[in-house]
Amino acid sequence: MSTEFSDNFRFLAHYNRWVNQRLCDACETLSDEERKRDRGALPGAVSTTASRWTA
């Protein structure tokens, strides 16, 4: 595996961890009701979207 590929992979893994943490931090500010409320966009509730992003 090339160094360039490895560096890029590590960068993307770090970025993914950073984005997931920001998402979790933002969701923690919402009440349970707000997280579960259908927002009118697919897939609907923030909790459903967040669980798909972090899977």
Confidence of residue 1 (pLDDT cuts 50, 70, 90): low
**Which residue, 19, 40, 21, 16, is CA-closest to 48?**
40
pLDDT of residue 54 exceeding 70: no
Does residue 45 sit in helix, strand or coil?
A: strand
Say what the pTM is: 0.64
pLDDT of residue 55 exceeding 60: no
| Per-residue pLDDT reduced to its tens digit, 9-53 | 999 999 999 988 998 898 889 898 988 888 787 677 887 777 776
> What gap in Å lies between CA 5 and CA 44, rounded to an integer?
36
